[in-house]
């Protein structure tokens, strides 16, 4: 049988076709536009997602026996607010995870409702990117649209709905809404009241490997798929990426260098850090995880390369970088504000330390190192909880850079394992579909059988020490600039 993973990203959807034995048979990517109507806003049209998915499914399976397709599942950008009216029509463009418009509502939740209560209700505090503050923003700023809301959905779940007709979500993705009681896996009645909504507006909750329904007959006919194709709940992009890299169970870690950057630490036990610097979410394997998320990771390098240096030859720009751990230039990667651990949408990208002899290579190196240092900020919080991490998997577009992987290994001082497939969320989605259809007994069983490490980058003691010193300097910069950021927005 074949299983399809749909990775609904911020800039494109990537669709992956996997054989039951784990072999990737085809990958298709379809881009769609991203809109910035105001500074700090970020929106997309859900219909653009749907058109890209349908075109992608058709192209993905064109040269294969579609009668053998067993299931479709998902990994998707988290936190986005998709609102539907009573006819299931989209009310307004989706407000995305990297949108900072709801800072007023975020402050209300954290300061008036209170972080302690939010953590008690949901295991997390409010961030401007989360869904609940967006709902409050819509209530205050677009009351006519707010009154039309019949269903509140997340991006990937809108695609699952269009395919199956079922309003669904999974626990991992729902964890990032600030509406879910993460520990008890149910909607928080307190948060529902705070957001002035009703529970029937929210989708039905599933485990990531649960079947939510079958493909609509008219969609099956359009694509030439069997009407028995199962639509499987799927997971938020980071949980799906963790499945795709085998990061399930205790003692594991995954770093994703995508548009955003994450450090993902699964656990079989529920856990919250005292300052809520890390997110405490449900995992796609049925258990839990801690996650630090920075809003700009590989997107920082893309911005630097394509908008500033004006090149797409990333490799050529990196090949002259030799003196790791000795760079006096620092870059704070807060181009879209920052989430973990600073929770500050007003933070901004910053270069500091340039002199007359600073080179283009120094600046490029600073961008790569700045992302690594920011990941270490969350890594240090995990260590403070007594979590021991000796190695990590890595995925995402940034993981294609050998130099960046070496920097990550030495900034964190741990081994970096490169899985055979770097397709992260798409592969994880296909694995979840296979588990749901009975190909494997569990997510853990599937990962044990399918995920193979093909390379390991070892940290170098001398370089680790150099980076420890540089990180000590880096972590002083944000507190020094914090008040200034608030003034220059």
The predicted-structure confidence for 293-303, as pLDDT tens digits, reads as follows 998 999 999 99
Whether residues 218 and 256 share a domain: the answer is: no
Residue 29 confidence (pLDDT) above 90 = yes
Question: Which tokens is 114 given?
Answer: 């209170």
CB under 8 Å to 190, separation ≥6 — which residues? 117, 121
The CA distance from 254 to 251, in Å, is 11
Q: What is the CATH number of the domain that holds 418?
A: 3.30.420.40
Buried residues in 11-39 as b, exposed as e (16+ CB within 10 A): bbbbbbbbbeebebebbbbbebebeeeee
188, 208, 238 - which closes a domain: 238
8 Å CB contact between 221 and 54? no
Q: How far apart are CA 245 and CA 162, in angstroms?
A: 28
Q: Are residues 284 and 328 in the same domain?
A: yes
Is 78 marked as binding a ligand?
Answer: yes
Share of the chain above pLDDT 90, in %: 89
State whether 215 and 324 are in the same domain. no
Q: Quick one: 474 and 352 in the same domain?
A: yes
Q: Measure Cα distances from 31 to 14, 18, 42, 402, 481 in Å.
A: 9, 21, 16, 26, 36
pLDDT, residue 421, reads 82
Asked whether residue 429 is assigned to any structural domain, the reply reads no
Whose tokens are 């989209």? That residue is 90
391 located within any domain: yes
Q: Are residues 61 and 157 in the same domain?
A: yes
Kindly state whether residue 428 falls inside one of the protein's structural domains: no
Integer Cα distance of 269 and 200 in angstroms? 30
Question: Among residues 388, 395, 396, which one has the least CA distance to residue 414?
Answer: 388
The tokens for 488 are 């220059």
- The token pair at 143 is 């009351």
Sign of CA dihedral 39, 297, 383, 420: positive
Measured CA to CA, the distance from residue 411 to residue 405 in angstroms comes to 10
Q: Single out the residue of 384, 393, 378 nearest to residue 447, CA to CA.
A: 393
Taking only the tens place, the pLDDT of each residue in 452-469 is: 999 999 999 999 999 999
Q: What would you report as the CA-atom Rg of the chain, rounded to the nearest whole angstrom?
A: 21
Catalytic residue among 237, 282, 377, 417: 237
Q: What pLDDT was estimated at residue 98?
A: 87
In this structure, the answer to whether residues 366 and 392 fall within a common structural domain is yes
Structural domain boundaries enclosing 386: 246-423+459-489
Kindly state whether residues 331 and 360 are assigned to the same domain: yes
Residue 156 CA: distances (Å) to CA of 16, 236, 257: 15, 8, 20
If you average pLDDT over residues 169-197, what whole number do you get? Answer: 98
Number of structural domains, the chain? Answer: 2
Query: Is residue 18 in some structural domain?
Result: yes
Tokens for 281, please give them: 């979410």
Q: Is residue 435 part of a domain?
A: no
Across 203-215, average pLDDT: 98
pLDDT band at 273 (very low <50, low <70, confident <90, very high): confident
Which residue, 279, 164, 216, 242, is CA-closest to 419? Answer: 242
Upstream peptide bond of 195 is cis (omega within 30 degrees of 0)? no
Do 173 and 42 share a structural domain? yes
pLDDT of residue 489: 75
Is 233 among the domain residues?
yes
Note the pLDDT of residue 225: 98
The pair phi, psi for residue 290, each rounded to 5°, is: -105, 145
Q: Is the pLDDT of residue 422 over 80?
A: no
CA distance 101 to 381: 27
pLDDT category at 131 given cuts 50, 70, 90 is very high
Give pLDDT, residue 100.
86
Give the burial class of 269: count Cβ atoms within 10 A of its Cβ; 0-12 exposed, 13-18 middle, 19 or more buried.
Answer: exposed
Please give the mean pLDDT across all residues of the chain: 96
Query: 103: which 2 tokens?
Result: 């800072």
The 10s digit of each residue's pLDDT in 57-90 is: 999 999 999 999 999 999 999 999 999 999 999 9
Do 349 and 466 belong to one domain? yes
CA angle (97 as vertex; 95, 100 as ends), nearest 5: 75
Query: Token pair for residue 477?
Result: 């910069």
Residue 430's pLDDT is what?
98
The CB-side HSE value for 25 (13 A sphere, CA atoms) comes to 21
Is residue 443 domain-resident? no
Q: Are 174 and 183 in contact (CB under 8 A)?
A: no
If asked whether residues 145 and 254 sit together in one domain, one would say: no
pLDDT value at 312 more than 80: yes
Domain check: are 213 and 272 in the same one? Answer: no
- Average pLDDT of span 261-289: 93
CA distances from 459 to 254, 263, 298, 408, 463 (A): 16, 18, 21, 9, 8
Of 73, 77, 78, 408, give the one whose Cα is nearest residue 254.
408
Closest C-alpha among 40, 141, 8, 41 to residue 346: 40
Q: Which of 177, 211, 238 is the last residue of a domain?
A: 238
Listed in sequence order, the DSSP H helices in 123-164 are 131-141, 143-148, 155-164
- Structure-block tokens of residue 55: 């075109």
Helix H segments across 330-460? 360-384, 402-412, 425-436, 443-450
Known active-site residue 486? no
User: What local confidence, expressed as pLDDT, does residue 279 receive?
Assistant: 94
- Is 196 marked as a binding-site residue? no
Residues in Cβ contact with 213 at an 8 Å cutoff, skipping those fewer than 6 apart: 164, 165, 166, 168, 230, 231
| Residue 452, Cβ density class (10 Å: 0-12 exposed, 13-18 middle, ≥19 buried) | exposed
Residue 378 buriedness (CB in 10 A; 0-12 / 13-18 / 19+): buried
| 382 in Cβ contact with 389 (< 8 Å) | yes
Strand 2-8 with 151-153, pairing: unpaired
Q: Are residues 252 and 230 in the same domain?
A: no
Asked if residue 258 has pLDDT above 90, the reply is no
- Whether 451 is in a domain gets the answer no
Place 259 in a pLDDT band, splitting at 50, 70 and 90. Answer: confident
Domain limit, last residue, from 185, 212, 238: 238
């Amino acid at each position: 049988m074949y299983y399809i993973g749909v990775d609904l990203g911020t800039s494109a959807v990537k669709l992956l076709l996997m054989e039951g034995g784990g072999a990737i048979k085809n990958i298709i990517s379809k881009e769609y536009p991203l809109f910035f109507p105001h500074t700090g806003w970020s929106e997309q049209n859900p219909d653009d997602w749907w058109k890209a998915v349908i075109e992608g499914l058709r192209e993905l399976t064109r040269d294969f026996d579609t009668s053998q397709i067993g299931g479709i599942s998902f990994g998707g950008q988290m936190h986005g607010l998709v609102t539907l009216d009573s006819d299931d029509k989209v009310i307004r463009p989706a407000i995305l995870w990297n949108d900072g418009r709801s800072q007023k509502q975020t402050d209300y939740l954290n300061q008036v409702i209170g972080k302690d209560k939010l953590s008690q209700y949901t295991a997390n505090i409010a961030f401007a990117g989360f869904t609940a503050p967006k709902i409050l923003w819509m209530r205050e700023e677009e009351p006519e649209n707010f009154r039309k809301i019949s269903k509140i959905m997340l991006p990937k779940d809108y695609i699952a709905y269009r395919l199956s007709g079922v309003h669904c979500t999974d626990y991992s993705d729902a964890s990032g809404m600030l509406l879910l009681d993460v520990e008890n896996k149910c909607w928080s009645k307190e948060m529902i009241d705070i957001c002035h909504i009703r529970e029937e507006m929210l989708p039905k909750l599933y485990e990531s490997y649960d079947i939510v329904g079958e493909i609509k007959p008219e969609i099956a006919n359009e694509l030439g798929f069997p009407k028995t194709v199962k639509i499987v709940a799927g997971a938020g992009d980071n949980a799906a990426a963790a499945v795709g890299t085998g990061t399930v169970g205790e003692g594991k870690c995954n770093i994703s260098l995508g548009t955003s950057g994450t450090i993902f630490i699964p656990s079989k036990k529920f856990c919250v850090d005292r300052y809520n610097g890390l997110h405490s979410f449900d995992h796609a394997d049925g258990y839990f995880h801690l996650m630090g998320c920075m809003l700009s990771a590989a997107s920082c390098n893309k911005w630097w390369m394509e908008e500033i240096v004006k090149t797409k030859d990333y490799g050529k720009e990196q090949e002259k970088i030799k003196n790791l751990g000795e760079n006096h230039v620092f870059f704070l990667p807060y181009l879209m504000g920052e989430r973990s651990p600073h929770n500050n949408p007003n933070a901004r990208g910053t270069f500091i330390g340039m002199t007359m002899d600073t080179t283009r290579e120094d600046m490029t190196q600073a961008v790569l190192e700045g992302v690594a240092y920011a990941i270490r900020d969350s890594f240090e919080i995990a260590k403070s909880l007594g979590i021991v991490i000796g190695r990590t998997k890595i995925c995402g577009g940034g993981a294609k850079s050998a130099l960046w992987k070496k920097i990550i290994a030495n900034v964190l001082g741990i081994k970096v394992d490169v899985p055979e497939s770097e397709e992260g969320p798409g592969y994880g989605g296909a694995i979840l579909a296979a588990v749901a259809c009975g190909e494997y007994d569990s997510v853990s069983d599937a990962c044990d059988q399918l995920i193979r490490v093909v390379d390991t980058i070892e940290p170098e003691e001398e370089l680790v020490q150099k980076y420890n010193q540089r990180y000590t300097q880096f972590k002083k910069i944000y507190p020094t600039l914090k008040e200034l950021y608030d003034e220059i927005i």
